[in-house]
Amino acid sequence: MLQFAPLLAMSTAGLALGSANTIYQLPPLVLLYPACLYLLGLQAESGVIAFRRGLLAGTVAFSACLYWIAVPFAEQTAMPWYLAISGPVGVSFLLGIYSAVFSWCCYKLLRNAAPLYVGISTFFLWGTLELARGTLFSGFPWASLAAAFSDWPAYVQPVSVLGAEGYSALLAALACYITAALITSSVKHSVAALMSLALLFTSSYYSWIQPADADANIKIAMVQGNIDQGAKWNKRYMRGTVDRYITLSKQVLDHPVDLVIWPETSMPFYLQSSREYLPLIRSLAIASKAPYLIGTPGYATGTGGRKFDIFNRAYLIDSEGLMLSWYDKVHLVPFGEYVPFYIPFAEDLLQGTGTFEPGTKHDPISVGNLAMGVLICYEATFTELVQDRVERGANLLVNISNDAWFGKTAAPEQHLDMTILRAVEQGRYLARATNTGITAIIDPKGNITTKGKSFRADVVFGSVGTRTGFTFYHRFFSLIRALIIAGAIAVLAYSIYTNKKKEI
């Protein structure tokens, strides 16, 4: 078998080049990552060594994917790069713990297991760890195996049945099953594993070519302002920002639409009380004869001893200029929108915005026949948030974001890949409006039907449809997750039982 160094290199290359990046992407390469973690566990001399090697492999691989976390630290706070790099390394270390646990489990539970049992066990183990990764410590489900295939929508259709975590688990299980079959030189299991992988992709392709069963008859316009992050919160540029969005939106007067969307914090001030700018935007909505969904900070009477609570908000201004309803971001970004504990550069990271409070309203924003499940920024990476929006009646998903923080890195593409999974999981159209890109419309099959160019001020026109039906995954969301966790517990229990039996 391969030694540690080659396995470390292969696992890193698999996750980094299988996921979206700025060099070259080939999604199937991502299967190398769980296969290498499995081999690291098998070859370890002890459980501690398996854990350490898995931790190192996970930290290095995720660092290669998440290097872009250093960009806002270095460019927005003038922090030296040698310090800024601690951001992605620290996050990757935490994510690497899940990889370490997987390698440890492979050492403890699967060293002498038959290939088929390896496949079944790793499905439940990987799935449970993915669920934990998306939940614990605020959750960060970035760079999953399923997301790597988002660029090939024909091969992500299983997420409408299993969800992203379940599909990632299935991909990991097949990768480990194939590896175990090759190690044991089992022709029978090698053929079975490869046929299973081929059947999975074939069935996904067949599902992909079926009609989406939703007419894209609602015209929308998504305004991409392309405002530089360094100038965004500077009051001297505020009027220019408003003028740019208004000027771009006037294209709607010649191309009538049913909805206009401005991205996250596109208006970098408290729009709700702006005597100067709110009337301008109301007049624009009236002239456009269309409602506007606008990202902006908002505030309300304070709680917990605070004078005011500040929110990352999306306001709806209807075609008559009335500010009808809003949505406040529920899942905030640690160190980006709130600070869990004191760090010296926190105020620079939160320049111009203050520390946000999480919202409490979850219901869709409704106008006409639209019930929009709004997701602000990286909320679109969390399966359970989108599940909740659809459960509450959303027939269209809307993601507004500002990825300008990360410049020309892999982050915007990786963010889009996870957003694609949410559309397929719930069988909904998803409109994604961003400040600098990637602005896009995604259909219920994960196809990008409309896509704007990044780092260009523009208006992206397109069409969406509404759907009220539910996918298999939506209907059995809780049961699927419970079964994955129960399966992992069963694998652990069976291992304990067999070990005790051997001792007797």
pLDDT in tens, 167-221: 999 999 999 999 999 999 999 999 999 999 999 999 999 999 998 777 889 999 9
List 106, 130, 176, 329, catalytic entry: 329
For 159, the token pair is: 């997420």
For 367, the token pair is: 């106008």
**Residue 340 predicted with pLDDT over 70:** no
pTM (predicted TM-score):
0.93
Instruction: Please check whether residue 19 is in contact with residue 25, taking contact to mean a CB–CB distance below 8 angstroms.
Output: yes
Instruction: Please check whether residue 252 is in contact with residue 290, taking contact to mean a CB–CB distance below 8 angstroms.
Output: yes
Cα 181 from Cα 163, distance rounded (Å): 27
Tell me the per-residue pLDDT of 476-503, one tens digit each, with 9 for 90 and over: 999 999 999 999 999 999 888 887 766 6
Tell me the per-residue pLDDT of 416-454, one tens digit each, with 9 for 90 and over: 999 999 999 999 999 999 999 899 999 999 999 999 999
Instruction: Please check whether residue 280 is in contact with residue 271, taking contact to mean a CB–CB distance below 8 angstroms.
Output: no
**Residue 407 predicted with pLDDT over 60:** yes
pLDDT band, residue 1 (cuts 50/70/90): low
Tell me the per-residue pLDDT of 285-336, one tens digit each, with 9 for 90 and over: 999 999 999 999 999 988 878 888 999 999 999 999 999 899 999 988 876 6
List 377, 379, 413, 445, catalytic entry: 377
Q: What is the pLDDT of residue 456?
A: 95
Mean pLDDT of 260-277: 95
Q: Does residue 329 carry a catalytic annotation?
A: yes
Q: Does residue 377 carry a catalytic annotation?
A: yes
346 or 256: which carries more pLDDT confidence? 256
**Residue 12 predicted with pLDDT over 60:** yes
**Residue 351 predicted with pLDDT over 60:** no
Cα 419 from Cα 97, distance rounded (Å): 25
Integer distance in angstroms from the first to the last C-alpha of the chain?
32
List 130, 165, 264, 337, catalytic entry: 264
Q: Does residue 264 carry a catalytic annotation?
A: yes
194-208: string of b/e by CB count within 10 Å (b at 16+)? eebbeebbeebeebb
